[in-house]
Structure 1
Amino acid sequence: MVRHIVFWNFLEELSEAERAEAGAKMKALLEPIKELVPGAVEIQVVQNQLASSNRDIALISTFETVEALSAYQNHPAHVEAGKYVGSVTCNRACMDYEL
């Protein structure tokens, strides 16, 4: 199993309402990809709710294999979602590791 975690901040110029809307759209774009990629076990998008966090939104996902993660990263739905994500976020950080 492989865990893929990505964190972002929203662009500073986004209002609170725009951040909430962007988070909901990211969730709607990314989470359904689980059903499209063989070997995707879990894909979850969560928004920061506590002041102790220093990132605004995270993608937490699990894949059966490194190959399944690669298939997810190259899937057209992920590539398209990435265009939107890149338009509303900055300061991306990622960590992949085997379970």
Structure 2
Amino acid sequence: MIRHMVMWRLHDQAQGADKAANLAKAKDVLLSCAQVVPGIRTFEVATATPGMDCTHDLVLHMLVDDAHVLAAYQKHPQHQAIKPFMQAVVSERCCMDFTV
């Protein structure tokens, strides 16, 4: 199995909206991809707890069966469709994949 984790920091303003509105939309668009391919075992999206230091604004945690599932997710049209919005509102992105 592969654990796929992505963390984002968002701009204070982007796409005509503030960070709070863009966080809510980003969470919704990410969750819309939760079932796009078979083999996704865990798909969690969360926003940061207010007041915590050294954190990002948004996180995606996925657990998938194997590298083929992760590749299929990455290439899926629904996942590709959310990228322009995410790229427009994100100031920083960190990603890590590892075998469990």
Query: TM-score scaled to structure 1, two decimals?
Result: 0.86
Deviation at 1:26, TM superposition (A): 1.5
Aligned to 2:26: 26
CA contact (8 A) 1:26 1:45 kept: no
Tell me which residue corresponds to 1:68: 69
Inter-partner Cα distance in structure 1 for 2:65 and 2:11: 33
- Aligned residue in 1 for 2:96: 95
Give 3-state SS (helix, strand or coil) of 1:70's partner: helix
Note the residue ranges of structure 2 that are not aligned, 5 or more in a row.
none
Partner SS, residue 69 of structure 2: helix
Counterpart-to-counterpart distance in 2, 1:20 and 1:13: 9
TM-score when normalising by structure 2: 0.85
Tell me the matched-pair count. Answer: 97
Counterpart of 2:37 in structure 1 is 37
Q: How far does residue 52 in structure 1 lie from its aligned partner after superposition?
A: 2.0
AA partner of residue 26 (structure 1)? A
Q: Identity of aligned pairs, percent?
A: 30
Q: Residue type of the partner of 2:80?
A: V
Instruction: Give the distance between the partners of 2:53 and 2:89, measured in 1 at CA.
Output: 22
What is the CA distance between 1:78 and its match in structure 2? 0.6
Superposition RMSD in Å? 1.6
Amino acid paired to 1:48: A
The one-letter amino acid of 1:6's match is V
Instruction: Give the aligned residue type for 1:28.
Output: D
The whole-number CA distance in structure 1 between the counterparts of 2:96 and 2:59 is: 11
Q: 1:81 to 1:38 in 2, by over 3 A?
A: same
Give 5+ residue unaligned stretches, structure 1: none
